[in-house]
Amino acid sequence: MAFAISDPAVVINNESVNLVPSTVTYTEGFGEQSVRAQSSGNGRVDQVYSDDVTTHYSMIKFEVYNTVDSIELARRLKANKNGNTITVSGVDPTSGKKILRTFKKAALTNNFEIQFGNDSSFELEFMTLPAA
């Protein structure tokens, strides 16, 4: 039996990040591809496969609670432009299998919105080189 990874670790610039559970998502960075039909006549078709290299980047996002530490971290990451490195890791507790992804040149791209409240969080979204 396999278990879903529900408590991944996120480390940014060698600093462990405390985050809202079940909010970490990312893309691998393979980008988008398209397939078009081309006709060779008499009912014959073939495909033309193309790779949109302008979409070859990863996205990683997660939420953090509105603590002073999280707000200050977000400000530092934003000021660091695309000089951030993020690692995400997780372990299947039954098999011990691990997943590890590294995201280099991570830029915090969203204009994060801070809401004050007892159950408030805010999202941090990064665009990066493809995951390694």
Inside any domain, residue 68:
yes
> Which residues span the domain enclosing 21?
9-30+59-128
pLDDT digits (tens, 9 = 90+) for 77-90: 999 999 999 999 99
The kind and range of the H/E element at 95 are none
**Tokens, residue 17:** 């990040």
Q: Reply yes or no on whether the pLDDT at 52 is more than 80.
A: yes
Inside any domain, residue 51:
no
Determine what percent of the chain is predicted with pLDDT higher than 90: 91
Q: Quick one: pLDDT at residue 94?
A: 87
Question: Which residues in the chain belong to E strands, given as ranges?
Answer: 9-12, 15-16, 25-26, 32-41, 44-52, 58-65, 84-91, 98-108, 121-128
The structure's pTM equals 0.91
Inside any domain, residue 47:
no
Inside any domain, residue 91:
yes
Number of domains making up the chain:
1
